[in-house]
């Protein structure tokens, strides 16, 4: 086991700001809603020296749960699952979409009875995590819990098992008709476009 210590939420917020994970502006989300904030966790995860202690903090509440496998949905959950697995001395796998359906590929598998922790970078609706949970249960795995770097569900995400986000952020979203930012005339930016590459949350 590495000697890297998990970090506090305050230190985590500093890292989010320092690495530009949390952007302010006027954003058009893939859901069609508008928001004044946008999260891009890849900007944190590009630095192993930040990814490791943050994921160690994710692992900490599950340290005595004898986790065998940590799984995350591609792409956002891959590095998170890998680093959390390292912290727990567990195996890492990821799930990915094949024709829209969350699937285990590349020979990844969960054996019946294996104890599984599901992780994600950002939980918004929790939809991807629920699909991964379905895979875990289908395989006969024992779901230990869910962890994410950020929970921006406003406390609405419920997975029926312990959910331990590292940081909870409330990000306001608006329908285009009700968007106060639109009224200011500031154009809405679509993150993930060429100008601003990245995954939408
Ligand atoms: Zn707007």
Residue 17: the pLDDT is: 87
Q: For 3-50, how does the pLDDT look when each residue is reduced to its tens digit (9 = 90+)? A: 677 888 899 888 988 999 988 899 998 778 899 988 889 999 999 999
151 C-alpha to ligand 1 centroid (Å) = 22
189 C-alpha to ligand 1 centroid (Å) = 9
Burial class from Cβ neighbours inside 10 Å (0-12, 13-18, 19+) for residue 23 reads: middle
CB neighbour list of residue 62: distance below 8 Å, 6 or more residues apart: 88, 117, 144, 145, 147, 164
Dihedrals φ, ψ of 54, to 5°? -65, -45
44 C-alpha to ligand 1 centroid (Å) = 26
How many residues does this entry show for the chain? 201
Residue 2: the pLDDT is: 52
Q: Which two tokens stand for residue 69?
A: 């496998």
28 C-alpha to ligand 1 centroid (Å) = 7
31 C-alpha to ligand 1 centroid (Å) = 13
Q: Report H helices in 89-177.
A: 127-138
**Is residue 133 very low, low, confident or very high in pLDDT (cuts 50, 70, 90)?**
very high
Above 50 in pLDDT, residue 200?
no
Residue 191: the pLDDT is: 81
43 C-alpha to ligand 1 centroid (Å) = 24
Q: Which two tokens stand for residue 27?
A: 């954003």
Q: Which of 20-24, 64-68, 84-88, 182-186 has the lowest mean pLDDT?
A: 20-24
What does R_g of the chain's alpha carbons equal in angstroms?
A: 17
155 C-alpha to ligand 1 centroid (Å) = 24
């Amino acid at each position: 086991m590495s000697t890297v210590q998990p970090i506090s939420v305050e230190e985590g917020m500093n890292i989010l700001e320092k690495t530009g994970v949390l952007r302010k502006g006027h954003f058009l989300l893939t859901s069609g809603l508008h928001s004044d904030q946008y999260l891009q966790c890849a900007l944190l995860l590009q630095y192993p020296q930040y990814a490791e202690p943050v994921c160690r903090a994710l692992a900490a509440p599950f340290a005595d749960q004898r986790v065998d496998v940590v799984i995350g949905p591609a792409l956002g959950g891959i590095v998170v699952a890998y680093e959390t697995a390292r912290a727990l001395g567990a195996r890492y796998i990821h799930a990915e979409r094949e024709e829209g359906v969350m699937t285990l590929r590349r020979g990844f598998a969960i054996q019946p009875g294996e104890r599984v922790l599901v992780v994600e970078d950002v939980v918004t609706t929790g939809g991807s995590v629920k699909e991964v949970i379905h895979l875990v249960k289908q395989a006969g795995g024992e779901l230990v819990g869910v962890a994410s770097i950020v929970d921006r569900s406003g406390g609405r995400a419920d997975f029926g098992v312990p959910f331990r986000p590292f940081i909870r952020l409330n990000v306001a979203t608006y329908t285009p008709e009700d968007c106060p930012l639109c009224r200011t005339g500031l154009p809405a930016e679509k993150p993930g476009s060429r100008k601003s590459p990245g995954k939408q949350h």
